[in-house]
Amino acid sequence: MRMSQAKTTVKQPKMKMVTIYVMGKKYEVPEGLTILKALEYVGYRLIRGVGCRAGFCGACATVYRFKDDYKLYTGLACQTTVKDGMYLVMIPFVPAKKPVYDIEKLKPDASTVISIFPELTRCVACNTCTKSCPQEIQVMDAVQEILRGNLEKAAHMVFDCIACGICSMRCPAEIVHYHVFQLVRRLYGKYIAKKSKHLEDKLKALEEGAFKEELDKLVTAGPSVWKRLYESREIEK
Amino acid sequence: MKKMRKIMYYPGCTIKTYGQRYEKTAIAVAKALGFELIELPRWNCCGVVYGLSEDSVFHHIAPTRNLIRAQEFSRELGTNDLTTLCSMCYHVLKRVNDYLRSNPEALEKLNKFMDDEEDYEGGINVVHYLTILRDDIGFDKISEKVRRRLNGAKVACYYGCMLVKPRETGIDDPEDPLIMDELMESLGAEAIDYPFKTECCGAYHIVSDKEIVKKRAVKIIKAALDRGAEIIATTCPLCHYNLEKGMEMAGKELRRKVLLVYFTELLAFALGLDDSLEKNVLKELKRLIGGEK
Amino acid sequence: MEVEMPNELAEKIFMISGQNVYACYQCGKCSAGCPFTDYMDLLPNVVIHKIQLRDERVLEAKTPWICAACFTCSTRCPRNLDISKIMEALRQITLRKGIDRIKLKKLEKIEELPTIALVAASRKLTG
């Protein structure tokens, strides 16, 4: 059997490689990859510290440095591209057990939040949290707004928080910002934000059986009807 | 129309929560006397206590950041003066400012650490509200504007520690300050002299050792009561809280209760700025002093 | 300023507070004016004496934790010694080891306390 000797070889452009160090071990990876892709390129199989891969879930917190630069940089592995000389490690988990509280029994004020998270009073305004945030949230300012009772303002400031935990790892006062912020958003949503009257009315109508007939008809209609209804639904294409 | 003098104002966390009545009356009084307190657009907790470790600037970060905020705002407002009401905020901001002005090494270290801010250059003047009243407005002028003389009401001025100690930071003599007393006299009150007007209320012991605060409050209030005081005027929300809580805990140990107010509330009452006073405070003051303007 | 201290404890106190305990001549004015001596185990001037004598048991005394940093002693000391800074140094020696004086999470009725009190306590009694 003769092996075909194909003469047509497609010339690959030479890939530019950069050097990165993962937990101290040196690797060459193609330029332009995200840290996450680079880790998988060199053979890591990630089962923790990876999630949506789209900058939304906060699972892939990473810290890194460069030679001759004392600064500690932080970012999400799925959103940060590799740079030559990157010396990195992933932080797949930030330890912080969420305190248990009954949202029904809480008041939407500073004292409430401080009584659940008294370490908030240890904040020295060092701003390390803000510098670490991959979502560009003004973390220190949000903590300060909470200390003086402006929960509504704080809740809006921290809307983009994805609970990656980098701020909490670096905070010298040992505040766990994302747990505090979750409480503040919940308090805002429950007690301060305007109630949605039309939603309440609709729920009441549902409970009183306003749509019972229609729903019963739909439930018993069968797969061919459901398929037809689904395919002809109103949707932006 | 005469333009109102604008001064940068640092409120502090507690003024915005427990001490709202202090701020409301202070702003109203300032307006009536011809100056405007303009709150810094962005500020953080001052840290409350001055960092006493010489080998560390860690606790100076928070107050220095506020001085930088004032520096930024000073360019917009055209003044370098920063005022505050709370004695503890005043103490920390003034003391850190003085320290940085005389310690270029510490200033450089802090500026380097806070690489996310502009460098602090030491140009802000921290001045307490009482000093503005005495030096810029003048107690005589205030006396002329009084619409409700305080009828010789017996007021014991409680200065506490942070406003007058240490000597370099204080706004008046640490052993026998008279600035608030003189202000009260200019309003027509009788300032009671008593031995403990600068003795500590117990400060942060209210958090973990309430008994100490109770004993301190009893000592201070009893000394004032024994000399006929009907009202105690305070300048610090912590002193205010401690005396209030101490009075509550003391119960029958004190033969009668005394009305605790912030000095700005007495000023507001004397100047007839009833809208800025809390209803029950106004009621009590009218009852003790008389209501006619 | 280079100052040679006869003992390690005094040296440590000097490094943190900038105060030379050997300037103290035990006049007792600090203890006389201190509002909190009733609740202390050692008087302020005794604390300074113990540092002079390198008695490390002073680190276990209640006194530095009862001190409220009211600055009465510092204002009155005839030798211009800042005793409140010495008390802070004693507190810092313990706090910097990671040993807090109060447990923030175990405070009673914390929601009733104004922010100023909690922040002050955090600064002074936690590391």
CATH of the domain at A138: 1.10.1060.10
Reported ipTM: the value is: 0.93
For A122-180, how does the pLDDT look when each residue is reduced to its tens digit (9 = 90+)?
999 999 999 999 999 999 999 999 999 999 999 999 999 999 999 999 999 999 999 99
C61 and C33 within one domain:
yes
- Mean pLDDT value of segment B219-240: 96
Do A115 and C110 lie within an 8 Å CB cutoff?
yes
Examine the fold and report which residue of A192, A213, A230 is the final residue of a domain before the chain moves on. A192
C121 and C68 housed in the same domain: no
**Is C108 an 8 Å CB contact of chain A?**
no
pLDDT in tens, C68-86: 999 999 999 999 999 999 9
Same domain membership, residue A118 and residue A166:
yes
On chain A, the residues whose CB falls within 8 A of the CB of C119 are 121
Measured at the alpha carbon of residue A132, what is the angle toward residues A127 and A135, in degrees to the nearest 5?
110
Residues C14 and C55 in one domain: yes
Nearest to B232 by CA among B121, B151, B156, B137: B156
Contact at CB, A144 and B44, closer than 8 angstroms:
yes
Any domain includes A157: yes
- Quick check: B287 contacting A, CB < 8 Å? no
Neighbours of chain C (3+ CB pairs under 8 A): A, B
Residues C85 and C117 grouped into a single domain:
no
Enumerate residues 23 to 42 of chain C having a beta carbon within 8 A of any beta carbon in chain B.
35-36, 38-39
A-interface mutation test, from C103, C106, C112, C118, most A Cβ less than 10 A away: C118
Q: Which of A112, A113, A115, A174 to mutate to test the interface with C (most CBs of C within 10 A)?
A: A115
CB contact (8 A) between residue A121 and residue C105 = no
Q: Please report which confidence band the pLDDT of residue A2 belongs to, taking 50, 70 and 90 as the band edges.
A: low
Range(s) of the domain holding residue C114: 102-127
Place of tokens 């307006």: B31
Stretch C90-114: mean pLDDT: 92
Radius of gyration, CA atoms only, chain C: 15
Alpha-carbon Rg for chain A, nearest whole angstrom, is 26
Minimum Cα–Cα distance from B42: chain A residue: A141
Residues A188 and A110 in one domain: yes
Classify residue A220: in a domain, yes or no. Answer: no
Q: Which pair of tokens denotes residue B69?
A: 């905020």
C117 and C91 co-located in one domain: no
Residue C104 touches partner B, C-beta closer than 8 Å: no
Whether residue A147 and residue C121 make contact (CB cut-off 8 A), yes or no, is: no
Question: B156 and B197 in contact (C-beta within 8 Å)?
Answer: yes
Residue A200: its pLDDT value, please? 92
* Position C72 in a domain: yes
Least trusted range by pLDDT, from A40-49, B262-271, C25-34, C103-112: C103-112
Minimum CA–CA partner of C116 in chain A? A121
CATH code linked to domain B147-289: 3.40.50.11810
Mean pLDDT of chain C: 94
Domain shared by C79 and C61, yes or no: yes
Q: How confident is the model at residue C4 (pLDDT cuts 50, 70, 90)?
A: confident
Residue of C nearest to B237 (CA): C116
Average pLDDT of span A57-75: 94
Contacts of B97 (CB under 8 A, 6+ apart): B63, B67, B122, B124, B126
CB–CB of A148 and B13 under 8 A? yes
pLDDT tens, residue by residue, B15-68: 999 999 999 999 999 999 999 999 999 999 999 999 999 999 999 999 999 999
Mean pLDDT, residues A63-79: 94
E strands present in B148-248: 154-157, 190-191, 231-234
Determine which of B52, B54, B59, B216 to mutate to test the interface with C (most C C-beta atoms within 10 Å). B52
Shortest Cα distance, chain B CAs vs residue A105, angstroms: 21
Q: Which residues have CB under 8 Å from C48's CB, separation 6+?
A: C21, C24, C26, C81, C83, C86
Q: Which two tokens stand for residue A225?
A: 């009807």
Tokens at residue A127, please? 């701003």
Query: Which one, of B272, B284, B290, B285, lies nearest residue B31 by Cα?
Result: B272
Confidence at C5, pLDDT banded by 50, 70, 90: confident
What is the domain count for chain A?
2
Q: B16: nearest CA in chain C?
A: C115
Residue A79 lies in a domain: yes
Residue A85 inside a domain? The answer is yes
Find how far residue A104's CA is from the centre of its chain.
26
Query: What mean pLDDT do residues B57-84 have?
Result: 96
**Considering only CB atoms, which chain C residues are within 8 Å of A147?**
115
User: A35: closest CA among A45, A20, A23, A47?
Assistant: A20
One-letter identity of residue A168: S
pLDDT at residue C124 above 70? yes
- Residue-wise pLDDT tens digits, B92-141: 999 999 999 999 999 999 999 999 999 999 999 999 999 999 999 999 99
Q: Does any domain span residue A212? A: no
Q: What's the maximum distance between 2 C-alpha atoms anywhere in chain B?
A: 58
Question: A98 lies in a domain?
Answer: no
- Classify A87 as helix, strand or coil: strand
> Cβ(A163)–Cβ(A178) under 8 Å?
yes
pLDDT for the residue A15: 84
C2 in any annotated domain: no
Which chains have 3+ CB pairs within 8 A of B? A, C
Q: Which residues of A are less than 8 Å from B44 in CB distance? A: 123, 125, 140-141, 144
pLDDT tens-digit map of A19-34: 999 999 999 999 999 9
In a domain, C1, yes or no: no
Topology (CATH level 3) of domain B5-129: Glutathione S-transferase Yfyf (Class Pi); Chain A, domain 2 (1.20.1050)
Q: How many domains does chain C have?
A: 2
Distance from CA of A154 to the nearest CA of B (A): 13
What are the distances in angstroms from CA B278 to CA B126, B241, B247, B293?
29, 17, 20, 17
| pLDDT reading at C3 higher than 70 | no
Cα B55 from Cα B220, distance rounded (Å): 36
Q: Is residue C58 part of a domain?
A: yes
Residue C12 shares a structural domain with residue C49: yes
Domain parsing of chain B, residue ranges: 5-129, 147-289
DSSP symbols for C37-86: GGG-SS-HHHHHHHHHTT-GGGGG-SHHHH-----HHHHH-TT---HHHH
Is there a single domain that holds both residue A85 and residue A117?
no
- Give the closest of B198, B205, B207 to C107, CB-based: B207
Beta-carbon separation of C122 and A114 below 8 A: no
For A114, the closest of C110, C123, C126 (CB atoms) is C110
pLDDT given for residue B291 in this prediction: 72
CA dihedral sign of residues C81, C83, C85, C89: positive
Who has greater pLDDT, C53 or A9? C53
Domain of A154 in residue numbering reads as 103-192
- On the question of pLDDT at A12 being above 90, the answer is no
Is residue C121 less than 8 Å (CB to CB) from chain A?
A: yes
On average, the pLDDT of chain B sits at: 95
Cα nearest neighbour of C65 on chain B: B205
Q: b/e map of B186-215 (b: 16 or more CB within 10 Å)? A: bbbbbbbebebbbbbbbbbbbbbbbebbbb
Interface residue B12 vs chain C (CB under 8 A): yes
* pLDDT tens-digit map of B144-190: 999 999 999 999 999 999 999 999 999 999 999 999 999 999 999 99
**Is A111 contained in some domain?**
yes
Asked whether residue C109 falls in the same domain as residue C92, the answer is no
A54, A107: one domain: no
User: Is C87 within 8 Å of C67 (Cβ atoms)?
Assistant: yes
Q: Tell me, yes or no, whether C3 lies in a domain.
A: no
Give domain status of residue C12, yes or no: yes
- The answer on C13 and C58 residing in a single domain is yes
Q: Which pLDDT score is estimated for C6? A: 81
pTM (two decimals): 0.90
How confident is residue B1, by pLDDT bands cut at 50, 70 and 90? very low
Same domain? C89 vs C29: yes
Q: Compare C124 and A7 and report the one with higher pLDDT.
A: C124
Domain assignment present for residue A223? The answer is no
Q: Are residues C49 and C82 in the same domain?
A: yes
Domain harbouring C72, CATH code? 1.10.1060.10
CB contact A72 to B (< 8 Å) = no
CA dist., res. B108 & res. B106, Å (int): 5
- Mark yes or no for CB contact B61/A126 under 8 Å: yes
Question: How does residue A4 score in pLDDT terms, banded at 50, 70 and 90?
Answer: low
Domain membership flag for residue C79: yes
Q: What percent of chain A has pLDDT over 70?
A: 95
Chains near A with 3+ CB pairs less than 8 A apart are B, C
* pLDDT of B279: 95
Same structural domain, C63 and C118: no
